Amino acid sequence: AQKVTQAQTEISVVEKEDVTLDCVYETRDTTYYLFWYKQPPSGELVFLIRRNSFDEQNEISGRYSWNFQKSTSSFNFTITASQVVDSAVYFCALSGYNQGGKLIFGQGTELSVKP
Amino acid sequence: SAVISQKPSRDICQRGTSLTIQCQVDSQVTMMFWYRQQPGQSLTLIATANQGSEATYESGFVIDKFPISRPNLTFSTLTVSNMSPEDSSIYLCSAKAGDTEAFFGQGTRLTVV
């Protein structure tokens, strides 16, 4: 069975702090994709990143970075120098290669960045 | 990435009635999906909308309760039938084209009273 666990339900930081959101996954597939999505208060889901299981290189995009560790089945997301606009619920998700694009979501982490 | 428009964006409905949610994509896509997000919860896949044939439902979801149509490559509807307060959720349409990431509509916030 496939499963995504985001153990942190809520995180609160002060602006300019760095924050890491944890994601641990379970799958028997050898080929799979991992995702992060952002859900601001308005409700839409905003795509942040997709990673396939063969690419363990860390990725950086501006203040965002992702650390994929296959050995620990983790795909953590770090926001550097957080801003109030980063306040949202962040979802980690998993899709098996043969799952036709169906996503299994974690429970989400609600990030609150205070000025 | 393509843009998904969902209608209505929100609605308040009486129990026992039905609501049809529309999802329009601005370009052709291979896959379309419907998710439910109950208050304070994560997203759960309801079904995969198949073009020209019956949708494929996930465990716990049935066609009588959530009939889905997908008449072409850019449009799908989800009906929430015989609604009860437990159906109060955000319903999200999702789509993907080929080997790309899935993108989402803005969701439909449904409240059943």
pLDDT in tens, chain B (113 residues): 679 999 999 999 999 999 999 999 999 998 999 999 999 899 999 999 999 889 999 999 999 999 999 999 999 999 999 999 999 999 999 999 877 888 998 999 999 99
Residue pLDDT, tens place only, B10-26: 999 999 999 999 999 99
Residue type, A75: F
Query: Which chain B residues are closer than 8 Å to A106 by Cβ?
Result: 42
Displacement of CA A22 from its chain's centroid (Å):
7
Closest Cα partner for B110 from B25, B9, B22? Answer: B9
| DSSP E strand boundaries for chain A | 3-5, 10-14, 19-21, 24-26, 32-39, 46-52, 59-61, 64-69, 74-79, 88-96, 104-105, 109-114
Q: Which of B3, B38, B88, B104 to mutate to test the interface with A (most CBs of A within 10 A)?
A: B104
Displacement of CA A31 from its chain's centroid (Å):
18
With 0-12 CB in 10 A as exposed, 13-18 as middle and 19+ as buried, what is A28? Answer: exposed
Q: Which of A37, A43, A102 sits opposite B90 (nearest CB)?
A: A43
Find the mean pLDDT for residues A82-102: 92
Q: Any residues with CB less than 8 A from the CB of B108 and at least 6 apart, and which? A: B6, B7, B8, B9, B10, B11, B21, B90, B91, B92
Find the mean pLDDT for residues A42-61: 90
Q: Any residues with CB less than 8 A from the CB of B93 and at least 6 apart, and which? A: B4, B6, B21, B23, B32, B33, B34, B35, B76, B78, B104, B105
Interface of A with B (CB under 8 A): 35, 37, 42-45, 47, 50, 91, 95, 100-108
Q: Are A114 and A84 in contact (CB under 8 A)?
A: yes
Interface of B with A (CB under 8 A): 1, 31, 33, 35, 41-45, 48, 90, 92, 94, 96, 101-107, 109
**Max Cα separation, chain A?**
44
CA distance B107 to chain A (A): 6
Residue type, B20: T
pLDDT value for A26? 96
